[in-house]
């Protein structure tokens, strides 16, 4: 699982290295603002659950998005079906410490953040404390698509669950 995560992160970082380093200045700021708007809108929509969440995922997740969590890759269609069926349900979530790095002249964004969330799993509330990575690509038509969403338990929450 760590090899998959490392491979994805290496691939993403190589995109930035191939074209240079982080994009700064006006282009970088414009892309950063666009991505943060999408990320912050996502929180409110996902807290609402149901069709709005599934619609957001259909709109913003690339058809081949890599959804990696709990050691498994979850295809986009499965994720959306689970949301629409009420199997994936967020009771509450907070996302914070967002860091957005822009590459490739403002067309690639890597977002990291912390998430404290409670999901309904098998009818019971289950808390999750995670580190998340989203990788976004801006297409020629101007739309941003998420190509990777990686969720890993934070070290402190993994330690607590061992007790």
pLDDT, one tens digit per residue, over 80-104 is: 888 888 887 889 999 999 999 999 9
Q: Are 133 and 115 a contacting pair, CB within 8 Å?
A: no
Give the lowest-confidence range in 103-112, 129-138, 154-163.
154-163
How many other CB atoms sit within 10 Å of the CB of residue 56? 19
Tell me how many degrees the CA angle 126-128-130 measures, rounded to the nearest 5: 170
**Domains, the chain, with CATH or none:** 2-162 (3.10.450.50)
| Strands of the sheet with 72-73, listed across from one edge | 72-73, 61-69, 144-153, 124-138, 108-121, 89-103
d(CA 148, CA 73): 10
């Amino acid at each position: 699982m760590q090899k998959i995560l490392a491979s994805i992160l290496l691939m993403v970082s190589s995109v930035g290295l191939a074209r240079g380093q982080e994009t700064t200045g006006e282009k970088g700021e414009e892309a950063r603002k666009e991505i943060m708007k999408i990320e912050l809108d996502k929180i409110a929509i996902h807290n609402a659950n149901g069709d709005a969440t599934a619609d957001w995922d259909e709109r913003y997740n690339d058809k081949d998005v890599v959804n990696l969590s709990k050691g498994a890759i979850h295809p986009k269609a499965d994720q959306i079906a689970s949301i629409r069926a009420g199997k994936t349900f967020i009771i509450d979530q907070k996302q914070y410490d967002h860091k957005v790095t822009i590459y490739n002249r403002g067309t690639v964004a890597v977002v990291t953040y912390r998430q404290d969330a409670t999901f309904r799993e098998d009818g019971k509330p289950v808390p999750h404390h995670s580190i998340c990575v989203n990788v976004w690509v801006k297409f020629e038509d101007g739309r941003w698509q998420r190509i990777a969403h990686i969720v890993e338990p934070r070290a402190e929450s993994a330690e607590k669950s061992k007790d």
